[in-house]
Amino acid sequence: MDPILRRTVIIPLLLAAATQFACTMPPPPRTSYQDPITAIRLYVDEHAQSSHQHPADVSSEQIAKVLGGLRVIPRSGFIGSLITGQAQATPAFSSTEIQALAPRLSRALTEAKPDELVTFYRRFSDSSTGLAITSGGMFVQDGYLVVVLANNRTLPTDGMNQNMVTDFDPVDSPLVPISRTSFRVEFAHPSALAAPDKRPSWPYIDEGRILAIDLRRLSAESKSPSGPPAP
């Protein structure tokens, strides 16, 4: 082939390939809030098939109730709980964490586009645990708040016995679990959970860490009169 003709054919093909590759790369996340230990970001969701119901008006009080109702159950302690008969569920978030996250997640949902989801990342550190990470995400679809708790006070080194060669900090990928065997999540208000056949379809690597919460039932439960105080 003539060199000039070759360039005429090859260069447009390379440019077209580069353009197609660039179009397939997702845009960088948008930051809604960030400080030295917390990051709330908006990521384009490639699984938003019919688009999420965003912007979404989910109040800070609703988010606080959702975060306050998340319970973490160690998978390694399942056999022990059968023997002792004791539930090993523990709150996923402290009251301080809920106060810090709830209003910012509520605001981020009002900023989200239909093809985006809201992610959260928070560092935890004390003398006994060292550095640990809590991270995940949420979006609104069909009247449900879908919540993913990917990590819960998980050590960056916890994945090193699961084919990871070094520690991992998911600050740029908050939906990636560091350890895939450490825990599963439940909700303290099961009546507000979506029935299995009603839950929005959204693929995730660990079905034990994703919940769909009916916001209407959650609101109705919040307004229902409380029972008599415990003696």
Report the distance separating Cα 70 and Cα 190, nearest Å.
10
What are 128-179's pLDDT values in tens digits? 778 999 999 999 999 999 999 999 999 998 876 655 556 889 999 999 999 8
List the structure tokens of 12. Answer: 């447009």
State residue 68's pLDDT score.
Answer: 97
Q: pLDDT band at 122, cuts 50/70/90?
A: very high
Does residue 52 surpass a pLDDT of 60? Answer: yes
Does residue 33 surpass a pLDDT of 70? Answer: yes
Mean pLDDT of 111-122: 98
State residue 180's pLDDT score.
Answer: 82
State residue 70's pLDDT score.
Answer: 98
Q: Token match 């384009």: residue?
A: 44
Report the distance separating Cα 64 and Cα 79, nearest Å.
32
Does residue 227 surpass a pLDDT of 50? Answer: no
Q: Token match 């560092």: residue?
A: 123
State residue 129's pLDDT score.
Answer: 74
State residue 126's pLDDT score.
Answer: 77
Report the distance separating Cα 119 and Cα 148, nearest Å.
9
Does residue 20 surpass a pLDDT of 50? Answer: no
CA angle 195, 196, 200 (to 5 degrees): 95
Q: How far is CA 181 from CA 67, 76, 130, 147, in A?
A: 22, 8, 20, 19
Q: pLDDT band at 27, cuts 50/70/90?
A: very high
Mean pLDDT of 40-65: 95
Q: What percentage of the chain has pLDDT greater than the value 70?
A: 77
State residue 186's pLDDT score.
Answer: 96
What are 167-221's pLDDT values in tens digits? 889 999 999 999 888 899 999 999 999 988 888 999 999 999 999 999 999 887 7
State residue 117's pLDDT score.
Answer: 98
Q: pLDDT band at 231, cuts 50/70/90?
A: very low
State residue 143's pLDDT score.
Answer: 92
